[in-house]
Chains A and B, each alone.
Chain A
Amino acid sequence: MAESRINNLKLGIFTIAGILFLVISLYMIGKDQNLFGSNILISTRMRNAGGLVSGNNVRYSGIQVGTVSEVNLLSDTSIEIIMLINEDAANKILNTSIASLGTEGLIGNRIVNLIAGPGTGRPIREGDVIMGKKTTDTDQMLETLSTTNQNAAELSSELLTAVKRLNGSSGFWRIIENDTLATDLTTTLQNIRKASENTNMLTSDMNGMLNDIKSGNGSAGKILFDTTLATQLGEALSKLNHAASNAAALTEKTDQLLKGIKHDIESGNGPANSILKDSGMVVKLHNTLTNVENSTAAFNDNMKALKHNFLLRGYFRKQEKIKSKDSAFGKPK
Chain B
Amino acid sequence: MKIIRYPTFFDYIEVNYNGMKLPRTTQKFFDEAGAISRFTGRFFHEAFRPRYEIVEFINQCFIIGYRSLPLVGLTGFIMGLVLTMQLRPSLVDYGVESELPAMVGIAIIREIGPVLTALIFAGKIGSSIGAELGSMKVTEQIDAMEVSGTNPYKYLVVTRVLATTLMLPLLVLLGDAISLYGAFMGVNIKTNTSFTLYYTQVFDALAFSDVIPAFVKSFFFGFAVGIIGCFKGFNSSKGTEGVGRSANSAVVVSSLMVFVLDLLAVQVTDLLGLN
Residues of A within 8 A of B (CB): 4, 7-8, 10-11, 14-15, 17-19, 21-22, 25-26, 28-30, 32-33, 55, 310
User: With a CB–CB cut-off of 8 A, which chain B residues contact A22?
Assistant: 173, 215
Verify B174–A18 contact, CB threshold 8 A: yes
Given contacts A7-B62, A8-B58, A14-B69, contact A21 B207 (CB under 8 A): no
Contact of B208 among A4, A8, A14, A30 (CB under 8 A): A30
Closest to B200 in A: A28
User: With a CB–CB cut-off of 8 A, which chain A residues contact B215?
Assistant: 22
Interface size of B in residues (CB-CB distance below 8 Å): 24
Q: Does chain A have a CB within 8 A of B14? A: no
**Taking the nearest CB of chain B, how far is it from the CB of A314, in angstroms?**
11
User: With a CB–CB cut-off of 8 A, which chain B residues contact A55?
Assistant: 207
Residues of B within 8 A of A (CB): 58-59, 61-62, 65-66, 69, 94-95, 169-171, 173-174, 176-177, 199, 203-204, 206-208, 211, 215
Contact of B173 among A11, A21, A29, A32 (CB under 8 A): A21
Verify A21–B203 contact, CB threshold 8 A: no
User: With a CB–CB cut-off of 8 A, which chain A residues contact B170?
Assistant: 14-15, 18-19
Verify A21–B66 contact, CB threshold 8 A: no
**Taking the nearest CB of chain B, how far is it from the CB of A313, in angstroms?**
9
Verify A11–B177 contact, CB threshold 8 A: no
A interface SS class: helix
User: With a CB–CB cut-off of 8 A, which chain B residues contact A32?
Assistant: 203-204
**Taking the nearest CB of chain A, how far is it from the CB of B134, in angstroms?**
25
In the complex, A29 Cα to B204 Cα: how many Å? 7
User: With a CB–CB cut-off of 8 A, which chain B residues contact A33?
Assistant: 207-208
Verify B206–A11 contact, CB threshold 8 A: no
In the complex, A4 Cα to B61 Cα: how many Å? 12
In the complex, A15 Cα to B61 Cα: how many Å? 9
Closest to B109 in A: A25
**Taking the nearest CB of chain B, how far is it from the CB of A104, in angstroms?**
9
Given contacts A25-B211, A26-B211, contact A18 B61 (CB under 8 A): no
Verify B207–A29 contact, CB threshold 8 A: yes
Ordered nearest first, which 6 A-B pairs have the shortest CB separation?
Answer: A18-B170, A28-B203, A11-B62, A18-B173, A14-B66, A7-B62
* Listed residue (A8, A28, A55) with the most chain B CB atoms within 10 angstroms of its CB: A28
User: With a CB–CB cut-off of 8 A, which chain A residues contact B69?
Assistant: 14
